[in-house]
A and B are shown apart, each in its own frame.
Chain A
Amino acid sequence: QSALTQPASVSGSPGQSITISCTGTSSDVGSYNLVSWYQQHPGKVPKLMIYEGNKRPSGVSNRFSGSKSGNTASLTISGLQAEDEADYYCCSYAGNRLDVFGTGTTVTVL
């Protein structure tokens, strides 16, 4: 049950698009379209941004989108804004009633 692999950091300028990857295995990300993404600002509680791979909860901006290819899920933030600067975590169902989080990615808006 190893953590999913994310890049430590991703940066972009305001208005640009960035993509955060989340690499797992054929036992977790590759087997299920059950990946969620969280945004966490410093000192705050995580906020659900994407669930079931590509669905947005009510109130989440449509600038956030999710996708998957093989064992890698991705979160794309388009039209990057200063308020998007935060840590982002993926989470996947891993079978056998288990979940697993990613290692986390710090997004910096230049």
Chain B
Amino acid sequence: QVQLVQSGAEVMQPGASVKVSCKASGYTFTRYYIQWVRQAPGQGLEWMGWIDPNNGDTSYAHKFLDRVSMTWDTSITTAYMDLNRLRSDDTAIYYCAREFSAGGAFDVWGQGTMVSVSS
């Protein structure tokens, strides 16, 4: 079946970097954008950006432009999201999702990766 499986929870120090992985299976990896969305504890969903696994094209939300990098490895059908210079307010669940239609239509989601930033 179609699924996205993310890497496990992380506890990070402020100023460090975190890399979250998202392994796709059950469909042709290069046919759909992978989106990244985060949700701070008790807060709403926040769009971070996307990567096109067909060619590596990316688009990032303005607030993350200087701190985020989204990459991919077609050979293992895995997308990655790197966030650097972590702050306490980056503590959140980070989700990857498959976009099947434009306008935020994400039909398959990963289980989420909890990233905690604390000294």
Contacts and interface: CB of A to CB of B under 8 A. Distances in A.
> Are A and B a genuine interacting pair, yes or no?
yes
B59 interface: yes
Interface in A81-110: 87, 89, 91-93, 97-104
Contacts of A10: none
Given A3-B44, A46-B45, A103-B44, A35 B103 contact: yes
Contact of B104 (A34, A40, A45, A97): A34
Contacts of B45: 38, 40, 46, 89, 91, 101, 104
Nearest to B44: A104
B47 interface: yes
B48 to A, nearest CB: 10
Contacts of B110: 45
Interface string A23-59: 0000000001111101010000110100111000100
A91 B44 contact: no
Contacts, number: 77
B53 interface: no
B111 interface: yes
Contacts of A57: 107
Q: What size tier do the contact residues of chain B reach?
A: 20 to 34
B119 interface: no
A92 B104 contact: yes
Chain B interface secondary structure, helix, strand, loop or mixed? strand
B95 interface: yes
Contacts of B101: 51-52
22 contacts: A1-B61, A1-B62, A3-B44, A34-B103, A35-B103, A38-B45, A45-B95, A45-B109, A46-B37, A48-B105, A51-B100, A51-B101, A51-B103, A52-B102, A52-B105, A89-B45, A91-B103, A91-B104, A100-B47, A101-B44, A104-B44, A104-B45
Contacts of A87: 44
Contact of B107 (A40, A48, A53, A98): A48
Residue in B45, B47, B107, B110 with the greatest tally of chain A CB atoms within 10 Å: B45
Interface string A47-74: 0100111000100000000000000000
B45 to A, nearest CB: 5
